[in-house]
Amino acid sequence: MPLPAACLFDLDGLLLDTEPLHSEAWQRAAHSFGLHLTGEQLLALRGRRRLDCAEQVRSWIGQAGQVVPSVEALLAVRQPIAERLLPSAQPMPGAVALIAACRARGVPMAMVTSSSRMAVALKEAPHPWLAAIGVRVHGDDPALAAGKPAPDPYRLAARRLGVDPRACWAFEDSQAGVQSALAAGCLVHVLVHRDDRLAAELVPQWPSSCRLVDNLSEVVLAD
């Protein structure tokens, strides 16, 4: 296949192995307010912005009959846990090589993440290879009208690169992210987490238009 106009990368669970750490932080925060999050609930939080996740967890706490904390109170518990855990995240297999391949072939890149600018800085500090992705769309980007699963993040990334999103390859691993990239018109590569501890019946059934990969090393950029 011809080279894409650009490659648009999610961060959490796609380039860095952060999803188990995020899940642990949300689980411990929810538990402090009387709720044990199920595997299905943890999966539903993936790929979404922090404030959106907090509102969802608050809703679940209320549905469980517990006293609903404010967003601030919930995040006051969750954030210190996440900030201790996330710098330990390792690259996902094949991620470093794929970024290097894009750079070597002159394929423009953008990071399209639901994480805030400060959170990305925390996670990428041990990973200088991520600096090759100069264009970023963060969850708290002032130009962003809505986060994933809305198409806005991917459309904004393509606009900043000066390319048509329909000519881009997007790389995702979450339901929210895949929905966002598909709605923007991208060709979506889904990294399937085979080692996920969630029950097999909770793994999403991805749209047939997506390309499924078990490892980013499977992605080939033609010369």
Q: Three-state DSSP class for 103?
A: helix
221: number of Cβ within 10 Å: 15
Least Cα distance to 74 among 114, 18, 29 occurs for 29
Calculated CA dihedral for residues 19, 93, 14, 24, nearest 10 degrees: 0
Which secondary structure element, helix H or strand E, spans residue 101, and what is its range?
helix 95-104
- Given 10, 12, 141, 152, which residue is catalytic? 10
Least Cα distance to 219 among 136, 96, 132, 114 occurs for 96
**Residue 195 is a catalytic residue:** no
Q: Is 21 exposed, middle or buried (0-12, 13-18, 19+ CB in 10 A)?
A: buried
The DSSP output letter for 181 is H
Pairing mode, strands 168-172 and 109-112: unpaired
Q: Cα dist. 159→7, 63, 74, 204 in Å? A: 13, 40, 35, 29
Return the CA Rg of the chain: 17
Least Cα distance to 215 among 20, 22, 14 occurs for 14
Q: Which residues are catalytic?
A: 10
